[in-house]
Amino acid sequence: MSEKGISKAVIKRLPRYYRYLGELLEAGVERISSGELSERMKVTASQIRQDLNNFGGFGQQGYGYNVRYLHDEIGKILGLNRIHNMVIIGAGNLGQALANYASFERSGFRTVGLFDVNPVLQGVTVRGIPIRMVDELPEFIKENKVEIATLTLPKSRAKEMAQLLVEYGIRAIWNFAHTDLNLVLPRDVIVENVHLSESLMRLSYNLTSYEEKHKTNK
């Protein structure tokens, strides 16, 4: 498979293809043309053909795409065909919410541990997972072959924790703290940031600029 030089934009779109194809599968659709997929996804058909060609192109002229095949192949490209063990550091509301997302498990992301510094939380279980104290992390990560750590900690504690996690052998960090960790971590550690307040600000920008336009046009 020639995956070299695939643009970030294409990679960003792959999970969306995966989701749409999953919905088609659920609906019992076996094959789809790029035209139909284009209509559903509101992406041009040529964009779809171009994107999927990056991975060898699974379509056939006059037949379209085999939904299950394409879904599974994209799943493999995304690394969803194997189990990733994950811990969540920070067992507040957000950490507990994420631990409760059973759908992550179905995509291969298995939450094996939930950690906090607050002794009051020790032993509380979320979806059967007991909350442990962070001093148990080094051993836990090794014993459970944990690859991914989800950080749902306050900004003030996130950087230090991220550095420790890397020492303990964590390979990827899913970061919900309101700060960029990339700057304090080795380059080969994968960081995926979810900056919720930035998303809310984009919403606010769009709302504000729509209102401005509307005002001017009156």
Q: Give the shortest CB-60-to-a second copy separation in angstroms.
A: 26
Q: Does 196 bind a second copy (CB under 8 A)?
A: yes
Residues 6+ apart with CB under 8 A from 191: 172, 173, 175, 181, 182, 185
Q: Give the shortest CB-26-to-a second copy separation in angstroms.
A: 11
Q: Which is nearer to a second copy, 29 or 136 (CB)?
A: 29
Q: Give the helix ranges, DSSP H, for the chain.
A: 8-26, 34-41, 45-53, 67-77, 93-99, 102-106, 137-143, 155-167, 196-217
Q: Which is nearer to a second copy, 60 or 154 (CB)?
A: 154
# residues contacting a second copy (CB under 8 A):
57
Q: 86 in helix, strand or coil?
A: strand
Between the alpha carbon of residue 218 and those of residues 178, 205, 212, the distances in Å are: 39, 20, 10
Q: Is 53 annotated as a binding residue?
A: no
The amino acid sitting at 172 is: A
Q: Please give the angle made by the CA atoms of 201, 206 and 209, to the nearest 5 degrees.
A: 120
Q: Does 174 bind a second copy (CB under 8 A)?
A: yes
Q: Does 218 bind a second copy (CB under 8 A)?
A: no
Q: Does 147 bind a second copy (CB under 8 A)?
A: yes
* The two three-digit tokens of residue 127, written as one number: 């979806």
Residues 6+ apart with CB under 8 A from 21: 67, 70, 71, 74
Q: Is 90 annotated as a binding residue?
A: yes
Q: Is 28 annotated as a binding residue?
A: no
Point out which span in 27-35, 50-58, 93-101, 129-137 binds a second copy (CB under 8 A).
Answer: 93-101
Binding site for a second copy (CB under 8 A): 3, 11-12, 14-16, 18-19, 40, 42, 77-80, 84, 92-94, 96-98, 100-101, 103-104, 107-109, 147-148, 171-172, 174, 178, 182-183, 188, 190, 192, 194-210, 212
